[in-house]
Amino acid sequence: MSAVSEAVPVSEPIERRSGLRFRISRGGLGTLVFLTPMLVVFGLFAWFPIVRAVVMSVQETNLVSEPTFVGLNNFARVLSDPQFGTAVANTAWFALLALLFGFPVPIILAVLMSEVRRGRGLYSALAYLPVVIPPVVSVLLWRFFYDASPHGVFNTILGWVGAGPLPWLQSSASAMPSIVIEATWANAGATVIIYLAALVAIPPELYDAADVDGASIWQKIRNVTLPQLRSVLIVTLILQLIATAQLFTEPLLFTSGGPNNATLTVLLLIYRYAFQNSLGGDYGMAAALSLMLAAFLAVFTAGYYRLTRSWSTSS
Amino acid sequence: MTTAIDHIAIKMGSVRGEQEMSRRISRRSTWYGPIALAIIGIVAACSPTASPSASSAPNPSQPTTGGPSASAAAAHQPVTITVGVLRPGATQEAVDALNLQISEFQAKYPWITVEPEEYNWTAPTFTAALAAGTLPDVFTIPFTDGKGLIAQHQIVNIDARVRALGYADKFNPNVIVNGQDDKGAISAVPIAAYGMSLTYNRTLFKAAGLDPDKPPTTWDDIRTAAKTIAAKTGVAGYAEMATENTGGWQLTTSTYALGGRMETVGTDGKVTATLNNPETKAALERLKAMRWEDNSMGSTFDYAWGSINQAFAAGQVGMFTGGSDLYTAMVQNNSLKPDDYGVTVIPLEGADAGVLGGGTLAAVNVVTTEAQRDAAVNWIDFYYMQKLLTQEGAIADAQALKANNQPVGVPSLPIFDKATYDASQQWIKDYINVPTAQMTPFTSKIFDQKIVTEPTAHTQELYAALDPVVQAVLTDKNADIDALLTKANQQVQDIIDKG
């Protein structure tokens, strides 16, 4: 009897245990085990820095002395800094130039390469080669090319056709376009490969049908190729816009933001806040501007996807 | 850019699978949420701010109790210190000379192991290393940073240890003050002082038909010589640093040479920025004329300290203003041909004109133990000070350098009194291997010039604010100097007012 009377109240835990067994048998524990390293790595190197950035944005801290809480003061100081407007304008200018040059160039290259019947792999490798070169090496190489003296590499080439010499990085007007040219060269390869993959996947019957209809090359591009690439184009465009908003390596290594702040970008300004003052950076302001940039990009991306949702499905 | 695109491409391919996964994951989210939070909690608990371990570290602002006797007691415990003494890119000969000096030090202090590290002070790299706690145990900083780092408790108070060495009172008061707090406690030791100079390329002078033994003595002479060098040789007759805060540094040098000042301190101690003074404007107008009227400044206008040294050693620059002690760096890092090197004093014109003087302090990292601090001060004394104070130290240093073809006898300014400086020069007379005759235009006149210290409040930020001004003048023919200076002045005043 006693055994029976004791058996009744434990029926619920048995159910729970069977639930746990059920979860384990379905791979729940295994999933957790496999997930743990990722959680730890992301926790340490992604989520924790993000949380720290949020905390630091409301602190005055040099990471050595005790931080003090300053509320939203760092955000107010960023917004009232005259360099902030310059950095935003320069970043927008870079984004526009990158859009004009950097967006169509990979498409054109990919279309041309997709038309090649032999040696496409070689052309793909050549297009991708700049991506393989470390950015610092690329920039230092291009700095050499951009030597503003008449004996510089590019100026010598211009001299052959009676043009130049150009000041390249040594002028406020030409510094940013010079950076855009290098950035396009350095980054186009990856996008070319994506476009090329998308182009190859377009059913040839569509082109055959266009041929039957007597379409010209331009009409085929306009009415077959571009519509088929629409989804990829929408994704690569937003990625490029996000990347241009985070431009840092090139202006830092090419010009340090000069001449006269002509290439000062938002990310470079964050870097300046953090590291320009040798007596301890203003990490609070740097964190505040980082969050502002992240928030802007999040809102911008959400808006972009909302806007382009109806276009993204191929018709 | 590339990484993000690749990432998305992979993501696009797996979207469908993820959607299915997300439905399953959502059922288990009650498990993972608390686990993730727990991990974040553990991570946060391990962070420097959350950790109580910071309080257990020695407080750098507290004078340490370990005086000479305590040091002696702990002296025989093995201790290792890292020292930032090797310029990145230094030649093997420079490394060999350093290793020889380290072996001599370790023979004298057998319980101390010295590990040299590459180190070169620049504002951005120093800030990052300071915040990350990765500076060497002994490192060097410019005079301009001493008081700020002391006020923020970012370097160790080594007052008792330095005074125990017996020569603390011999320092030039105007020099040691850079390493002292408001009460006179020493936290950083002056190890070198320099006056700004005009460095010129003697070979280019000859090529341009100029007499290298009669360098320019006025700013008009400099302009004329620059024009001649550019016309006759095709390289920049004169160049100016303009990035990494060096533009402001050099503009301040030019301003001082014309009698102007970048800051004034009122009787109440209030600092006022005076960047838009007439002398700074005149210096910029001269630069503008050299750049756009004379076309004598070449085509590179983004030089920093390292790159202008490199360009000068490569014969691409006729003249530039910089520290009087550049010869060593240019030999060690840029393979300077000694015959090319010439140095003279900066022309002083104006009622209150002076030469900008600066220097270097040696400091000890806050993340050191008491024993390491003892060892660090021993190293500072041995490596930097003994050669200035004792014949034995001076000769040992000179021998080690000369044996490895490193420069001995490079012009500098005294950090003690002039008599001590003269004595140290006399001790190493037989070892001097630099072209002293080519340095005579500087060494024969510098001690007659008035030395003016760098701006005291927010020096590096002031220099940083002036960088774009110099860059604008050199890269924009229509640069509005008044507007640029007014803007920079307001920027610096705001920083000063913030404190």
- Domain edges within chain A: 2-56, 74-308
Residues of chain B with C-beta less than 8 angstroms from the C-beta of A236: 5
Determine, for residues A170 and B302 on separate chains, whether the beta-carbon distance falls below 8 Å. Answer: yes
Question: Which range of residues forms the domain containing residue B118?
Answer: 44-499
Residues of chain B with C-beta less than 8 angstroms from the C-beta of A134: none
Residue B470 resides in a domain: yes
Phi, psi dihedrals of residue A225, rounded to the nearest 5°: -65, -55
Cis check: omega of the bond before B407, within 30 degrees of 0: no
Q: From residue B333, how far is each of B94, B101, B329, B330 by CA, in Å?
A: 9, 19, 6, 5
Beta carbons within 10 angstroms of residue A301's beta carbon: 14
Nearest chain B residue to A175 by CA: give it.
B475
Distance from C-alpha of A261 to C-alpha of A84, rounded to nearest angstrom? 11
Q: Is B12 on the interface with A (CB under 8 A)?
A: yes
What is the Cα B102 distance to its own chain's centre? Answer: 23
Distance from C-alpha of B398 to C-alpha of B230, rounded to nearest angstrom? 38
Q: Is B39 on the interface with A (CB under 8 A)?
A: yes
Distance from C-alpha of B485 to C-alpha of B469, rounded to nearest angstrom? 7
Determine, for residues B5 and A170 on separate chains, whether the beta-carbon distance falls below 8 Å. Answer: no
Distance from C-alpha of A170 to C-alpha of B299, rounded to nearest angstrom? 7
Q: What is the DSSP letter of B244?
A: T
Q: What are the respective helix, strand and coil percentages of chain A, to the nearest 5?
A: 75, 0, 25
Residue B37 resides in a domain: no
Q: Is B6 on the interface with A (CB under 8 A)?
A: yes
Which residues, 6 or more positions from A287, have their beta carbon under 8 angstroms from its beta carbon? A53, A54, A56, A57, A74
Q: Between A135-145 and A153-160, two packed helices, what is the crossing angle to 10 degrees?
A: 50
Residues of chain A with C-beta less than 8 angstroms from the C-beta of B32: 32, 35
Confirm if A103 and A161 have CB atoms less than 8 A apart.
Answer: no
Residue pLDDT, tens place only, A30-64: 888 888 999 999 999 999 999 999 999 999 987 77
Confirm if A155 and A173 have CB atoms less than 8 A apart.
Answer: no
Provide the residue type at B146 as one letter: G
Determine, for residues B130 and A280 on separate chains, whether the beta-carbon distance falls below 8 Å. Answer: yes
Q: Is B149 on the interface with A (CB under 8 A)?
A: yes
Distance from C-alpha of A58 to C-alpha of A307, rounded to nearest angstrom? 34
Determine, for residues B471 and A191 on separate chains, whether the beta-carbon distance falls below 8 Å. Answer: no
Residues of chain B with C-beta less than 8 angstroms from the C-beta of A65: 152-154
Q: What's the CATH number where B191 sits? A: 3.40.190.10
Which residues, 6 or more positions from B46, have their beta carbon under 8 angstroms from its beta carbon? none
Determine, for residues B302 and A256 on separate chains, whether the beta-carbon distance falls below 8 Å. Answer: yes
Interface probe with B: pick from A237, A260, A264, most Cβ of B within 10 Å: A260
Structure tokens at B59: 């407080």
Determine, for residues B127 and A51 on separate chains, whether the beta-carbon distance falls below 8 Å. Answer: no
Nearest chain A residue to B301 by CA: give it.
A170
Distance from C-alpha of B461 to C-alpha of B148, rounded to nearest angstrom? 12
Q: From residue B347, how far is each of B167, B246, B254, B318 by CA, in Å?
A: 35, 20, 9, 17
Q: Select the residue of B40, B153, B300 nearest A48 (Cβ to Cβ).
A: B40
Q: Select the residue of B5, B43, B491 nearest A191 (Cβ to Cβ).
A: B5
Residues of chain B with C-beta less than 8 angstroms from the C-beta of A188: none
Residue B362 resides in a domain: yes
Confirm if B82 and B364 have CB atoms less than 8 A apart.
Answer: no
User: A74-308 falls under which CATH superfamily?
Assistant: MetI-like (1.10.3720.10)
Determine, for residues A260 and B12 on separate chains, whether the beta-carbon distance falls below 8 Å. Answer: no
Distance from C-alpha of B57 to C-alpha of A12, rounded to nearest angstrom? 54
Distance from C-alpha of A31 to C-alpha of A40, rounded to nearest angstrom? 14
Closest chain A C-alpha to B241 CA, distance in angstroms: 12
Q: Rounded to the nearest 10 degrees, how much is the dihedral formed by the CA atoms of B167, B171, B173, B176?
A: -100
B 333-372: CB under 8 A from A = 366
Distance from C-alpha of A269 to C-alpha of B468, rounded to nearest angstrom? 14
Give me Rg for the CA atoms of chain A.
27
Instruction: Report CA torsion sign: B455, B456, B457, B458.
Output: positive
Residue pLDDT, tens place only, B49-93: 333 333 333 344 444 433 344 455 445 689 999 999 988 877 888
What total number of domains does chain B contain? 1
Interface probe with B: pick from A151, A244, A277, most Cβ of B within 10 Å: A277
Residue in B476, B316, B14 with CA at minimum distance from that of residue A147: B316
Number of CB pairs < 8 Å for A and B? Answer: 166
B 430-469: CB under 8 A from A = 460-461, 464, 467-469
- The pLDDT profile of chain B, 499 residues, written as one tens digit per residue, is 333 333 333 333 333 333 433 333 344 444 444 444 444 444 433 343 333 333 333 344 444 433 344 455 445 689 999 999 988 877 888 888 899 999 999 999 999 999 999 998 888 888 888 888 899 999 999 998 898 889 888 899 999 999 999 999 999 888 899 999 989 999 999 999 999 999 999 999 999 999 999 999 999 999 999 999 999 999 999 999 999 899 999 999 999 999 999 999 998 889 999 999 999 999 999 999 999 999 999 999 999 999 999 999 999 999 999 998 899 999 988 999 999 999 999 999 988 999 999 999 999 999 899 999 999 999 999 999 999 999 998 998 898 888 888 899 998 888 998 888 899 989 999 999 999 999 999 999 998 999 999 998 889 889 999 999 999 999 999 999 999 999 999 999 998 988 7
Confirm if B230 and B293 have CB atoms less than 8 A apart.
Answer: no
Structure tokens at A36: 């743990």
**Please, what are the averages of pLDDT over each run of 10 residues along chain A (315 residues)?**
42 52 65 89 92 94 84 95 95 93 86 81 88 93 93 93 90 94 91 89 90 89 88 88 92 93 96 83 92 95 85 54
Q: Which residues pair with B355 in a beta bridge?
A: B451
Q: What are the respective helix, strand and coil percentages of chain B, to the nearest 5?
A: 55, 15, 30
Determine, for residues A236 and B5 on separate chains, whether the beta-carbon distance falls below 8 Å. Answer: yes
Beta carbons within 10 angstroms of residue A225's beta carbon: 21
Which residues, 6 or more positions from B67, have their beta carbon under 8 angstroms from its beta carbon? B160, B161, B164
Distance from C-alpha of B179 to C-alpha of B301, rounded to nearest angstrom? 34
Distance from C-alpha of B44 to C-alpha of A54, rounded to nearest angstrom? 13
Confirm if A255 and B302 have CB atoms less than 8 A apart.
Answer: yes
Residues of chain B with C-beta less than 8 angstroms from the C-beta of A240: 1
